[in-house]
Each structure stands twice: as structure tokens, then as C-alpha cells.
Amino acid sequence: MNASMILREWYRMSFAAKLIAWQRRHGRRGLPWQATRDAYRIWLAEIMLQQTRVEAVIPYYERFLERFPDVRSLARASQDEVLRLWSGLGYYARARNLHAAAQLVVRERGGRFPDAPRELAALPGVGRSSAAAIAAFAYRRRAAILDGNARRVLARCFGAQGERRLWRLAERLLPARAIRTYTQALMDLGATLCSRADPQCARCPVAAQCVARREGRIAELPAPRRRRALAVKRVKWLVLLYRGSVLLERRPPTGVWGGLWTFPELSGGSAREYCRRALGCEVRRTRALAPVEHGFTHFRLRAVPSLCEVRALAPGVQAPGRMWLDVADAVHAAVPAPVRSLLLALLRN
């Protein structure tokens, strides 16, 4: 082994050892998914934590486990119930993939999750980094993660950029033992000390070998993604009220808010005419409500709601994909957060 290889090996062992020691003294404790080796519970946490803060995930995680304590109960549930429990957590494709993966695990594997990262990554919605985390935490498999927190730590500490290079680095740095502690340390260090906007370098266990700190490149590593101006999508919502009930429509199964219940949308023309012709409702009067805005990854939604007081319904008005619900019940249906906020405002008023 030449001098360069010896140096790289020392760096790998030094980095991993420092992170493991730091985690045992300063890492996060008491998160509800840390005290288990149940692959189902770890998988559920990893999917919920994708692009979502820990504080936001905890109450959803606990409610899911109360209703679906194992993968079989989740697989038996309707998608509507899964979406209802997920409502407000965002990125709803995760919930649809979660349900599909549970059904696949039950149908094809008898309810047992695979222990190999490659097989875990083949499940709907899992992906390479999440698969590695599940394999490490549930089965002690030696697999590299590269979530947002790990990417930031590695990019700054080693001055590395580029997806391929970071994955090679993540794999090369894996310790031979204590893989669960090391994996959690990467996540925790990035979430608590090596944050994007306010890194606490003075408390970092690997500050002495950090390239970004030494070269004054903390702000530029990892390279920020180029942000494009978000397009604004404008829609008109029809908030139809009839004897204390509100009309909701189910969204298409894929795409934005796929499978969720929202207000009917008016594409053009008169609200009264659309309600009569398409929804079978005779409207007494309409009133404009305050616009609602909501951000998505690639665009911003601006919805202009119109409150429509319905005088009468045509016979047989109930149609597939539409339902009238008491407003208080609609609040707890599988609706996205902006719709729920508007429903709550209706209840208050």
C-alpha cells in the first residue's frame, strides 16, 4: 500500500470514527423510529422524511402507526384512507407509492421487506439513499446514503462536487462496523451542525479536516441548484354550499394532488351556468373569497375561490368522483392543505 492509499485510508477511518464518537455523545435521541429495528417502521419513517423536516413528520408517523401498525394493515387500506392520513404532509406521490409498495411487499414477499439495498430500491418510491438507510438501520447492511444532509457534509468536508463523485466518496468512507451509528451521524450532523444557512463549525467533529472551512467555500458547497422563476398557475375554485354540505371532486390518480379531494374548478364562463350544466346545482348567489396561494416544486398555484350558495340540486346529481360532505367532515377528508384551510375558514364563519 503506497503513501497515497495509506493517507486515504487514514482519512476514511478518521472521518468515520469522529462521526461515530460524536453521534454517541451529541446525536439526536428519542425520535420515534430510532428505537426499532422493524423494517416496516424504518421504511415508513424514511419515506416520510424525504424532503420533509423531522418536526413535521413525527405526528404523521405516530398517527400512521396507530392506524396501520404493520405492512399488512397498510396494504389492506384504501388509497383514500392513506391519503387522508397523509393530508397536509405534502408531496402526495410519496403516499401513493407507500401504499403501492406495501401491497407489493404483501403480495410478492409475504409481508417481509427485502434486506438488500438493491431490492429495497426497487420498491415504489424508495430510491437508492432511502434503501441504504433502511438496510443499515433494519439489517445492519453496509450501504452508503446520500440524502440532502449527507451530501452537504461530504461536499463541504472533502470539497467534492458532482453526484457520481459524492456517491463514490460516500461508499469509500463507510466504516467496517457501527454502520447504524455512522449512518445516523451523517444525517444528524447535516441536520444540526452542518446546516445550509447557519453551520456551527466550532462544534463540528470534523472541522479540522473540512476543505470548505479551510478554503472559505462553505457557502458554495454543495453547489446550489440553479433556481428558475416559478410559473404561476391560476385556477378558479367553486366552493358550493348546500344545507351545511360542500361539494368536493376527486383529482385524477396521478399528477398534482393525485387522488385527493378538492373543490371543482371553473375553466371559463359563468359560475352559475357551469354549476347548473355540469354540476346539477341551482345557485342562489355567489361571493368572491380571498385568493389562496400554494407553492409546488415547479410552479406556484393561485386559486381564486368563489363561494356559491346552492338553492336546489337536480335529481340524481351525485356523480362518480364527486361527493357532498358536511363541512366539518370534509375538513378530515383526504384534502390538500390549502383546501383544508379554506374549509376551516368556512367552519369558523
Angstrom distance (rounded) from CA 165 to CA 210: 17
Q: Where in the chain is the domain with CATH 1.10.340.30?
A: 3-220
Angstrom distance (rounded) from CA 222 to CA 161: 7
CATH code that applies to domain 3-220: 1.10.340.30
Q: Tell me, letter by letter, the H, E, C secondary structure of the chain.
A: CCHHHHHHHHHHHHHHHHHHHHHHHHCCCCCCCCCCCCHHHHHHHHHHHCCCCHHHHHHHHHHHHHHCCCHHHHHHCCHHHHHHHHCCCCCCHHHHHHHHHHHHHHHHHCCCCCCCHHHHHCCCCCCHHHHHHHHHHHHCCCCCCCCHHHHHHHHHHHCCCCHHHHHHHHHHCCCCCCHHHHHHHHHHHHHHCCCCCCCCHHHCCCHHHCHHHHHCCHHHCCCCCCCCCCEEEEEEEEEEEECCEEEEEECCCCCCCCCCEECCECCCCCHHHHHHHHCCEEEEEEEECCCEEEECCCEEEEEEEEEEEEEEECCCCCCCCEEEEEHHHHCCCCCCHHHHHHHHHHHHC
At 3, is the pLDDT very low, low, confident or very high (cuts 50, 70, 90)? very low
pLDDT score at 6: 44
What are 88-134's pLDDT values in tens digits?
Answer: 999 999 999 999 999 999 999 999 999 999 999 999 999 999 999 99
Catalytic site positions:
46
Q: Where in the chain is the domain with CATH 3.90.79.10?
A: 231-348
What are 43-97's pLDDT values in tens digits?
Answer: 999 999 999 999 999 999 999 999 999 999 999 999 999 999 999 999 999 999 9
CATH code that applies to domain 231-348: 3.90.79.10
> Quick one: what percent of the chain has pLDDT higher than 90?
85
pLDDT of residue 7 exceeding 60, the answer is: no
pLDDT score at 16: 94
> Over the chain, what is the mean pLDDT?
93
In this prediction, residues 168-186 reach a mean pLDDT of 96
